Structure formats: structure tokens, C-alpha cells
Amino acid sequence: MNTPTPFALEAEDFPFLDALILQCVASTTHLQWEPGNGGFFVEAETPPLEHFIPATLVTGSGKRVKGFAAQTTGLFFPVGSYTSWHKGKPANRVQADGYEEGAKSKTQVLAVLPDGRWALLTARGLASQALMNAVSDHRYTAAYKFKAQPFYKAMTGVAGAPRQAGEAAVTPFTFVSVEDETCPVDLGEAVRARWGEVKVWLNRGNGHNGQTQTATAEAVDGSGGEGDAPPPVVPGQGEPPVLRRYKDGSDVNGKVEEQQAYDMYVAVFEGKAPQDRAALRAWYKEQASREVSQPA
């Protein structure tokens, strides 16, 4: 029998405290495990999922945290997300009202796993921007192609091969939709059963400490919706191709890495394009170097 305590949190004010927390760790020096690269880390005493193996996270202050890690998240069904901006090192981070020069983004995605558990996927820096863009694309596709909530279709995340950033190696992250994996009806109903908590979680991200919400969930009562959102560009359906062009007039080349970096830059600077390829590379390198000193 649980004894009441005056220090207990109110579940309705702090929903999803029971969620599994998946951290994207880009720095190869902060995540110590057999593969040797960055990955998805969970602080736990037992493996949270079958493909997770023992690992140790070394925080910016040098604290060692035991847990498990993997190079893929496995399938998850995204329900909602929000992004906030922070400045300073981990010990004295200050949250900003929005993007500022030198600020680093943090994105959290509330999701449900195929086994019914809830999860919070957390990413900072370049991983945050990759996650933010991928969830946004997923949301638009779910709404305009399937006329459904984003958790109707699954997503997955993958930690790539480390890339050199100055003297350190940084792991890039990729997040994609898995359109052939549809959320079971009973799982969708379980999400709807906690919809009030979902809205509380989203509201905590929208207006608390300057956080900016990028909600992927529409309110049941119709108070929040997709009506003002532009339709997604779906290849092969006659829409014009995405035009990526630098300010100097040159086009972004066909390399996926450069296109992703360009999209990240445009998202951060609210639609503004970089001056040229050299400026984009310099900015991307600067962002990557921050990943080394500030683990997720």
C-alpha cells in the first residue's frame, strides 16, 4: 500500500512521467559501448527493448550513467512534439524565447511504442533539427495523404556512421516515416484514452519557459487542427520539386548530406538561405562541434 506524501506530483499536471526516455547522444566520447559511435541511450537497469545493449553515458560534468543503447530506436508512433532553444553549457543552460545566435535546440517527441508503452525521444543540436524536420514532414503526410493523426503511421530513427568534426567524431541521426507500418486500432484507442494528458503535455511545451510547440496532434474537440498547414510535397504526384538555392544563386547539389544540412539551416533561420556552400559548411561544422561538448 502506497503511503500518501506531501511531495507527490499530481499526475494530471505532470503527465507521462512513466514514459521511456530515449536520448540521442551524438558524441562518440560521451557514449561508451561496444559499437563505439553515438546512439540512442536509455538510463535503465534492464534492457528497455530487445536490441538495446549495455552502455554508459558520460555527462558534461563527468558523471557516469549506466544504461543501455542501440543504433536504432525501433518503431514508434509519434503523437506530439515541441522544440525549445537553450544557450550555455549543460551546467548553466539558459532557455531562450526562441532562436538566438549561438542557441542550441532541443526537441522532444511524445510517442507510443508497438507494445503500448509511451516514450519520450529527446535530441539536441543537429539531431534535434533532424528530428524536428522529420516529424513535421511526417505530420503533414499523415494529415494530407492519409487524412489521419500522425500516430497512424510509424517512424524510426537511425544513428549513422561517425563523421569528423574538427578533432572529434560526431554521429549524425536520421529519422524517417515507415508507411507500411500502420498503428493497430486498439493502440490508437489507447492513445485517445489519454488524449487529455497529451494536450497537457503539449501545453507545457507551448508557453512554458519560452518553448515553441510544433504539435503533431489535433485536439479531439477540434480546438487545434491542421487547417492552416500547407500540404506536403509528395514526390510522384505532380507537385513541383523542392528548390534549394543559395543566396549567391547557385543550387544545392544532389548529395543527401548537403540537402539535409541546407534544410536544417533554413529551419533554424526561419526560411533564410545560407550565402553559399562554404557558408553552409562552416555553419554545419560549428553546430557539429557543439555536439561534442554538449551531449544530449
- Residue numbers of the domain that contains 148: 20-231
Amino acid 87: pLDDT:
72
Is residue 88, in this structure, part of any structural domain at all?
Answer: yes
Write the CA distances from 225 to 80, 147, 168, integer angstroms.
Answer: 13, 12, 43
| pLDDT value for 136 | 87
Give the count of beta carbons closer than 10 Å to the beta carbon of residue 45. Answer: 8
Residue 39 lies in a domain: yes
Main-chain phi, psi angles of 290, to 5 degrees: -70, -30
| Separation between Cα atoms, residue 23 and residue 39, nearest integer Å | 8
Mean pLDDT of the chain: 77
Asked if residue 236 is part of any domain, the answer here is no
For 210-233, write each residue's pLDDT tens digit.
333 433 333 222 222 232 233 333
Query: Is a pLDDT exceeding 90 seen at residue 43?
Result: yes
Is residue 220 included in any domain, yes or no?
Answer: yes
DSSP letter, residue 267 = H
Percent of the chain with pLDDT over 90: 33
Where in 102-260 does DSSP place strands (E)? Answer: 104-112, 118-124, 153-159, 163-165, 168-170, 173-182, 212-213
- Burial level of 92, CB count in 10 A (0-12/13-18/19+)? exposed
Most confident of 86-95, 157-166, 260-269: 157-166
Q: How confident is the model at residue 23 (pLDDT cuts 50, 70, 90)?
A: very high
Tens-place pLDDT, residues 241-296: 456 788 887 877 766 667 777 777 776 665 678 888 888 888 777 665 554 444 44
In this prediction, residue 280 carries a pLDDT of 84
pTM of the model: 0.69
Residue 140 pLDDT grade (very low, low, confident, very high; cuts 50, 70, 90): confident
Does residue 99 fall inside a structural domain? Answer: yes
Whether residue 190 has pLDDT greater than 60: yes
Q: Tell me the average pLDDT across 96-101.
A: 65
Residue 286 lies in a domain: no
Assigned domain for 141 exists: yes
Cell of 147: 487524412
C-alpha cell at 60: 558534461
State the total domains in the chain. 1
| Nearest CA among 289, 292, 287, 290 for reference residue 58 | 292
Please choose, from the candidates 118, 121, 142, the residue with its C-alpha nearest in 3D space to the C-alpha of residue 132. Answer: 121
User: How do residues 99-116 score in pLDDT, each as one tens digit?
Assistant: 666 677 889 999 999 999
Tell me the per-residue pLDDT of 54-78, one tens digit each, with 9 for 90 and over. Answer: 999 998 778 899 999 999 999 999 9
Which residue's entry shows cell 559499437?
35
Closest CA to 169 of 296, 26, 32: 26
Where residue 182 falls among pLDDT bands split at 50, 70, 90? very high
For residue 237, pLDDT beyond 50? no
In a domain, 259, yes or no: no
